[in-house]
Amino acid sequence: MQESREITGAVGKAEAEAGHPPTDARVLRDALGRFATGVTIVTTRTAEDGAPIGITANSFASVSLDPPLVLWSAARASMRHQHFAAAQAFAIHVLREDQEALARHFTRDGMAFDGLDWASAEGLPVLRGVLARFECVTEATHEGGDHTIIIGRVTRFMQDPGARPLLFSGGKFARLAPGV
């Protein structure tokens, strides 16, 4: 019995190490999910009526310090995609470890700002009390398969150096271990 489990485990490990062609989207997504990321909320205003809109995203990265550029990717399948792909400006909010409920809030309803601690900064809806915030003007957009890659030039930023980040890995929210 033990020998059978060891053989099955060895075969599974060998298959995993051999690699997969990227044809099975679920398997590819699971593999990509092994990379832990931070969690952000991106906000802007709708083109139609200027209402604030937000979306939770973990596809955020620094591009350049000079000039200061960042990027994030908006899923084309999202009903909110059109607003972000056309936005002239946006704000990226990096969430603190205690803001999982806020992250979940914006996965459900991007228009629900009622009851949230937010303000308007030079026309952009910005959330208060986050780990870091980057206010940006759109520098460029690029088609990237099922996403639009949006590059922003940072015009203003803030940070809370005493707080810790909310993480996302393997399809779940996570936190750094105490003392890390």
Residues 44 and 131 in one domain: yes
pLDDT of residue 135: 97
pLDDT of residue 156: 96
| Total structural domains within the chain | 2
Q: Please indicate, yes or no, if residue 89 is contained in any of the structural domains.
A: yes
Round to whole Å and give the CA distance between 37 and 60. Answer: 8
pLDDT of residue 9: 58
Amino acid, res. 61? A
Which of 82, 87, 104 is closest to 95 using CA atoms? 104
* Upper half-sphere CA count for residue 172 (Cβ side, 13 Å): 3
CB 57 within 8 A of CB 41: yes
Residues 121 and 140 in one domain: yes
Residues 14 and 103 in one domain: no
Q: Please indicate, yes or no, if residue 178 is contained in any of the structural domains.
A: no
Per-residue pLDDT of the chain in tens (180 residues, 90 and over written 9): 566 666 665 555 555 666 666 667 778 777 777 778 899 999 999 988 889 999 999 899 999 999 999 999 999 888 888 999 999 999 999 999 999 999 999 988 777 888 889 988 788 999 999 999 999 999 999 999 899 999 999 999 999 998 999 999 888 888 888 766
Model pTM? 0.83
CB-neighbour burial class of residue 95 (10 A; exposed 0-12, middle 13-18, buried 19+): buried
Domain encompassing residue 109: 36-169
pLDDT of residue 177: 80
